A and B are shown apart, each in its own frame.
Chain A
Amino acid sequence: MVNLKESLGEALNRPIDSAFLAAFRSAFGVLMFIGAYRYWAKGWIDSILIAPAFHFHYEFFGWVAPLRGVGMYVVFLAMACSALGMAFGSWRRIASGVFFLIFTYVELCEKAAYLNHYYLVSLLALLLAFMPEGTARVPRFVLLALRLQIGLVYFFAGVAKISTDWLIHAQPLKIWLRANSDFPLFGSLLEAPGVAHAAAWLSMLLDLTAPLWLSLRSTRRFAYLAILGFHSATACFFPIGIFPWLMVLAATVFFEPGWPRRVPGLARFFSQPIDPQPRAGLCPVGAFALAAYFCLQLLLPLRHLRYPGSANWTDEGFRFAWRVMLIDKVGSVHFRLKLPGSGQRVSVEPKAFLTPFQERMMAQSPDMIVELAQHVAADYQRRFGQFPAVYADAWAAMNGRPSERLLDPNVDLTTLDPAGFTPFPILSAH
């Protein structure tokens, strides 16, 4: 037992070349700078964070709110500076920590804007904030932690694709590929029989096994080419921003730790001799924290199992679970308010409270429908002095199926826990 512990400790703390970490942090910083600039340039600071009068909240973070006026622009300026600090500065750990805090704050401001890759960015920035910098060798656990994090993303994304919709019906790929048949040169061929199915099976297999092929020296080159091709294709066909390039970068953590020294053009940035003095290894507290972190990373994607029905339909346990590019879902909601006493009924359209973007995202997520219903009730009470019961006429269509009711129209949504720790009264056989 002692021997096992010692050899595990030795394996985790064995000093390795830190070039991979420096390269990853710099490229990550550059990518995040581009991401922050892009968010600003597209006007999303205003349309997503400042303009909405109401914001959807994450459980435990209901107190987080965007700053008004120029405040949010200052936040993005600070985010961009910290991204550049990660890329080129000499205080890269601190820059990583600052970037993590700012980016996560922005992410927490609006639940409707949740994206899997934003969550991944937060996690990577957090890990980088605790990882060493400089030219000294680093303990091997640093590399393994990054590999495990990226490996989990691929693995759970692959597991989530093992479903009838994805593998048997090739949905929603059929819908998406059909919509892209204007793509230059080969766009019109995307709808050919078998293409959606082939893409579905290949992407599932790639997700499930990419970490393995990338880890093996003999298959690494081909695996990386496949990753590059796969993510380039998704970047061409789908509006998913920096996500493909983040994953292309992330896959480099599976290379040999000294890989940047052997890449022409990059090598000159890593020409300084490696400090033979290794960094301190993993201390017990650090080991515990890292173990707890990865336990959480294993459990969060599995939490949907405690809810009835498919997470793709219910959204319960959908976020923070690497269920990437799995569904095409559109919804339609309007609320019916029943006033106490008189029993009078009033109809409310969500667009009175939301931006079109928020409305679109809310209409497919039961938890956001419930949160808005409770806000509508509170707003009505503030204006008219009565707290109404709120019922939702909520319908959604997913992956090409006929539309169905999403929530029980006879349940007063103001009586529900918006956190969703208790399952929502979600209907349908999905």
Chain B
Amino acid sequence: MKRSALLSSVFLLTFGTVACGSRGKEDRQKVLEADTYAVILPSLAALQSRTQELGMALTEYCENPSPERLTTAQQSWLLARETYKLTAAFQVGPLEDFVTQVDFWPVRELEVENAVRSAPANSDRTYLDTLGVAARGFAPLEYLLFGAPAELSVDPNALRRCSYAKALAADIAERALFAYDAWTLGGFAQELAQANASGSQITSTQAGVDLLLNATTAALVDLTDKALARPLGEKSGGVIQPLDCESRYSGTSSQDYLAALHSVRRLWIGALEGEQGRGLTLLVRRHNIPADERVRSALDEIAAFVERLDGDICGAIVTDAPAVARALEAARRLRQLVTTEVVQVMGGTLTFSDNDGD
């Protein structure tokens, strides 16, 4: 009698306690929904739209070349590129293939010129598929539009050259549309937003959050190593490498950088603009408000450093390398904060992928 009473008490106590419930899963669900529907899908829709405009601008220019149409094509490239960089923090799922296919940089001029020389009179996707990623995507198109724009109309190879540029723009637009469709019609957005629902490939809300966190970390790695440390010469014995700079022909490396940083902020907040949202911030604030505030102020600090540079990053690494180095240090602090405290607050360390624990 005594034993059964004791067991019953333990049972009731246990279930009484756990019946209070918790909000971790609900919080993660809210974050996934907010980031998917308020940030990722609108950003992908914008990317799809901007790349379509880029494709049309190139078509119009190549059919009737004029300085005005060239300017329009260049502006379209800048907008499309900025919109693309605004996806930097969530390049997961169907977007991964898009990134691999269209974002190889720094540009290899020789490879692009070779691609022009061997191009057919009317380049198309079939031709581009025979080329490596270094001859496809944003960077070669930037080189053609900004690096050697005159050749697009007056060079003996102008038609061939312009046709190749047009094919590049059409390819980017087609792939952006494909990625957008895969997120929307293909259902990846729903899988992410409804992680843990039956049929979702993402089997838990924690796995969904980990996916976003890993993508954010990858963006921060690019923002430190690729966008700043490499041009600053940290990978080459301290010798500055201006050729390793992003978007150097258009002179928009700072714009690229700030857009990528802004995408991290958007995912963090869970909204395209403003400071209020249910993004990753929600999970961190629930357990560690100072960490959330440090992330926000680090984002502001990095942006301020980059905005204060004399010209864009490509120019500043030559004229004022210490200022770029300060931005790099700030970016490293943010990366360190996210890869330690934030990962831990979110329980992200449980994703052992190469070995068991303990």
Give residues in A with beta carbon < 8 Å to B.
Answer: 44, 47-48, 113, 115-117, 175-176, 178-182, 186-195, 198, 238-243, 324-325, 328-332, 334, 344-347, 349, 355-357, 384, 393, 395-400, 402-403
For A393, list chain B residues within 8 Å (CB): 332, 336
A180 touches B206 (CB 8 A): yes
Task: Indicate whether B250 reaches chain A with its CB closer than 8 angstroms.
Answer: no
Give residues in B with beta carbon < 8 Å to A.
Answer: 17-25, 196, 203-206, 225, 229, 234-235, 237-238, 287-288, 290-291, 332, 335-337, 339-341, 343-350, 352-358
Known contacts A192-B19, A192-B22, A193-B17; decide if A357 and B343 are in contact (CB<8 Å): no
For A396, list chain B residues within 8 Å (CB): 340
Bound-complex Cα distance A384 to B291 (A): 41
A347 touches B229 (CB 8 A): yes
Most buried by B among A48, A115, A238, A332: A332
Residue of A176, A186, A331, A334 near B347 (CB, 8 A) is A176
Instruction: Give 14 new A-B contacts, CB below 8 A, not counting A175-B347, A178-B347, A403-B336.
Output: A47-B354, A117-B358, A181-B206, A188-B21, A238-B350, A239-B352, A329-B349, A345-B238, A346-B238, A357-B354, A397-B340, A397-B343, A398-B344, A402-B341
A188 touches B22 (CB 8 A): yes
Residue of B22, B229, B347, B358 near A240 (CB, 8 A) is B358
The distance from the CB of B21 to the nearest CB of chain A, in whole angstroms, is 6
Known contacts A332-B335, A347-B234; decide if A115 and B356 are in contact (CB<8 Å): yes
B238 touches A189 (CB 8 A): no
B17 touches A240 (CB 8 A): no
Known contacts A191-B22, A344-B238; decide if A400 and B345 are in contact (CB<8 Å): yes
For B345, list chain A residues within 8 Å (CB): 175, 400
Residue of A198, A325, A402 near B358 (CB, 8 A) is A325
For A176, list chain B residues within 8 Å (CB): 347, 350
Residue of B23, B332, B336, B358 near A191 (CB, 8 A) is B23
Bound-complex Cα distance A157 to B353 (A): 25
- CB-nearest residue of chain A relative to B290? A402
B25 touches A189 (CB 8 A): no
For A179, list chain B residues within 8 Å (CB): 24, 206, 346-348, 350
Bound-complex Cα distance A330 to B349 (A): 7
Bound-complex Cα distance A399 to B21 (A): 23
Bound-complex Cα distance A187 to B28 (A): 14
For A193, list chain B residues within 8 Å (CB): 17, 20
B354 touches A191 (CB 8 A): no
Bound-complex Cα distance A176 to B347 (A): 6
Known contacts A176-B350, A194-B17; decide if A116 and B358 are in contact (CB<8 Å): yes
Known contacts A116-B358, A182-B206, A344-B238; decide if A403 and B17 are in contact (CB<8 Å): no
Residue of B19, B337, B358 near A243 (CB, 8 A) is B358
- CB-nearest residue of chain B relative to A112? B355
Residue of A116, A182, A347, A400 near B288 (CB, 8 A) is A400
For A398, list chain B residues within 8 Å (CB): 344
B22 touches A189 (CB 8 A): yes
For A355, list chain B residues within 8 Å (CB): 354
For A384, list chain B residues within 8 Å (CB): 237
Most buried by A among B24, B238, B288, B335: B24
For A181, list chain B residues within 8 Å (CB): 22, 24-25, 205-206
- CB-nearest residue of chain A relative to B20? A192
For B348, list chain A residues within 8 Å (CB): 179, 330
A and B contact pairs by CB, cutoff 8 A, 28 listed:
A44-B354, A115-B355, A178-B22, A181-B24, A181-B205, A182-B25, A187-B25, A188-B22, A189-B22, A192-B19, A192-B20, A193-B20, A238-B350, A243-B358, A325-B358, A330-B348, A331-B339, A332-B340, A346-B234, A346-B237, A349-B229, A356-B354, A393-B332, A397-B340, A400-B344, A402-B288, A402-B291, A403-B337
